[in-house]
Amino acid sequence: MQSSRLSLLFFLTAGLAAAQTNHAADDSAEEPLHLERFVVSTSPYAREQNEIAQPVSLLDGNRLTQHQATSLGELLAGETGVSSTYFGPGASRPIVRGIGGDRLKVIENSVGTIDASVNSPDHAVSLDPLLIERVEVVRGPAALLYGGNAVGGVVNVITHRIHETLPEKSLEGRVEIRTQSVNDEESAGVVLEGAVGSIAWHLDGFRRETSDLKIPGYAESARQRAAEETHEHEHEEEHHDEEEHEEEAEAYGTLPNTAITSDGGSAGFSWIGDAGYVGVAWSGYNTLYGVPSGAHNHEHEEEHHDEEEHDEDEHAHEEEGGVRIDLVQRRFDVQGALTRETGFLRGAKFKFGSADYRHQELEGDEIGTVFRNRGYDARIELLHEPIADFTGALGWQGGRSDFEAIGDEAFVPPSRTTNQALFLFEELPAGALTWQFGGRVESQKIALRDGSGSARRDDLLSLSGGMVWKLDEAWSVGVSLARSERAPNAQESFADGPHVGTNAYEIGDPNLSVETSTAIDLSLRRRVGLVTGALTVFANRFDGYVYEQPSGLFAVEHDGAVEFVGADDPEAAEGLAVYYYRQTDAQFQGVEAELVFHLHESQSDALDLHLATDTVVGKDTAGGGPLPRITPRRGRVGLDWTHGPIALGTEAQFVAAQRNVTANELPTDGYTLLSLSASYRFTAGRTTWTLFARGTNLGDEEARVHNSFLKDIAPLPGRSVNVGLRMSF
Residues 444, 446, 447, 452, CA torsion sign: negative
pLDDT at residue 343 in the model: 83
pLDDT at residue 92 in the model: 94
* Beta strands at 515-526 and 415-430: parallel, antiparallel or unpaired: unpaired
Run means of pLDDT, 10 residues per run, the chain, 729 residues: 34 33 36 58 86 91 91 95 95 95 94 93 93 93 91 93 92 96 97 96 97 95 81 56 49 94 97 96 97 58 39 40 90 96 91 97 87 97 93 96 88 94 96 95 95 92 96 95 96 88 84 97 95 96 92 86 87 86 95 96 94 96 89 97 96 96 88 97 94 97 94 95 96
How far is the C-alpha of 138 from the C-alpha of 479, rounded, in Å? 14
pLDDT at residue 298 in the model: 42
Residue 547 burial (CB < 10 Å; 0-12/13-18/19+)? middle
How far is the C-alpha of 82 from the C-alpha of 59, rounded, in Å? 12
What CATH number has the domain bearing residue 129?
2.40.170.20
Q: 693, 675, 723, 701: which is closest to 180 by C-alpha?
A: 723
Residue 453 burial (CB < 10 Å; 0-12/13-18/19+)? exposed
Q: What is the DSSP letter of 31?
A: P
Q: Is 584 helix (H, G, I), strand (E, B) or coil?
A: strand
Give the H or E element holding residue 479.
Answer: strand 475-486
Phi, psi (degrees; rounded to nearest 5) at 316: -65, -40
β-sheet bridge partners, residue 654: 635, 672
pLDDT at residue 203 in the model: 97
Number of domains in the chain: 1
Owning domain of residue 264? 3-728
pLDDT at residue 28 in the model: 36
How far is the C-alpha of 234 from the C-alpha of 224, rounded, in Å? 16
pLDDT at residue 233 in the model: 66
Does the model's pTM come out above 0.85? yes
β-sheet bridge partners, residue 646: 643, 680
Q: Is 210 helix (H, G, I), strand (E, B) or coil?
A: strand
How far is the C-alpha of 674 from the C-alpha of 676, rounded, in Å? 7
How far is the C-alpha of 23 from the C-alpha of 21, rounded, in Å? 7
Name the E strands within 65-184.
82-84, 94-96, 104-108, 111-112, 134-139, 153-158, 172-180
Q: 427, 421, 423: which is closest to 392 by C-alpha?
A: 427
Provide the 10 A C-beta neighbour count for residue 5.
16
Helices (H) and strands (E) in the chain, counts: 12, 36
Polymer length of the chain: 729
